[in-house]
Chain A
């Protein structure tokens, strides 16, 4: 029952998000606005138990939800076959750069922040 109730809450948040995105011509997708609405709604304690139940179920199998889009993309690869190897090179290299830069930058700041204060001052 909690899962169903939680699902209802998610759909309500998403619908409100979609309405706001269209109504005000916001450049954000409806579900993202819905997520912000959910963050506000979670301040009400009645919402938490059902949302926790449905979020655990949905997010535990998030990868399954990407399969239909993935099949569509691979099935239509012919569209870009002409530039295939250039595109694949660009995507692989730039994804590696994006992953590496984020991890390196955040990793440095993370370790600096987690260092105890006395150690930090002795370095300065």
Chain B
């Protein structure tokens, strides 16, 4: 038993633990998701995250220790964002033709998400600091942090709200689109990329290649538009 504890102490302190645990948990969640016919509630990101949080708290492992290994996966987010250029380039003629309507949808959808978050939060009596951290929640986490900072919110909270938004979006999108009778994979993908950025786009990417390409485009457009429009709207509201 003592030997096992020693071994565990060694393993859990090395970067190998975080990396292995992340990959194994994800593969299991992915297998389950496929077996359950890609049901929304079986979203692999959500279940991998919950499994790992459970594992960390059961073994008393600090997040920093876990991240020492998981950072190798986390690092790939940057190159993956660059890689989103590929599906866009493949559809460049079609996208150029549809540019005006996509721009309108991006501004109204992104505005509705940010505006409704701030309005509802204000009605529920949240502090201004929290409201300012909530405003950029539909933008991918690293950018949301920058916007929140400009607004006088808390960057770390903004990143958290953005990640939770992504998971919520991935959970509810399919049911919502079906209820609204939205069938076009491009429209579904663009909407999920607008309201639920990367985590939503990841789900769209696995559902349908067209859906994924439009989700990637929507995410990029949100980044460009929100960086300029959210601080502008905040100044107008304050002034």
Contacts and interface: CB of A to CB of B under 8 A. Distances in A.
B196 interface: yes
A93 to B, nearest CB: 6
Given A65-B76, A98-B113, A29 B223 contact: yes
Interface residues of A, number: 70
B227 interface: yes
Contact of A86 (B50, B79, B126, B165): B126
A45 B201 CA distance: 27
Interface residues of B, number: 106
A116 interface: no
B45 A17 contact: no
A29 B143 contact: yes
Interface string A49-80: 00110110011101111111111111111011
Given A92-B172, A95-B165, A36 B85 contact: yes
Nearest to A18: B78
Contacts of A94: 113-114, 116-117, 120, 134, 137
Q: Which 7 pairs of residues, A with B, have the shortest CB-CB distance?
A: A98-B113, A102-B109, A98-B195, A94-B117, A38-B85, A31-B81, A55-B86
10 contacts: A27-B228, A31-B77, A35-B84, A51-B83, A55-B83, A62-B80, A70-B48, A91-B137, A93-B116, A94-B120
Interface of B: 18, 22-23, 25-26, 44-46, 48-50, 52-53, 56-57, 63, 66-67, 70-71, 73-74, 76-89, 98, 101-102, 104-106, 108-110, 112-114, 116-117, 120-121, 124-126, 130, 134, 137-138, 141-143, 146, 156-157, 159-161, 163-169, 172-173, 176-177, 180, 182, 184, 186-188, 190-192, 194-196, 198-199, 201-203, 205-206, 212, 216, 218, 220, 223-224, 227-228
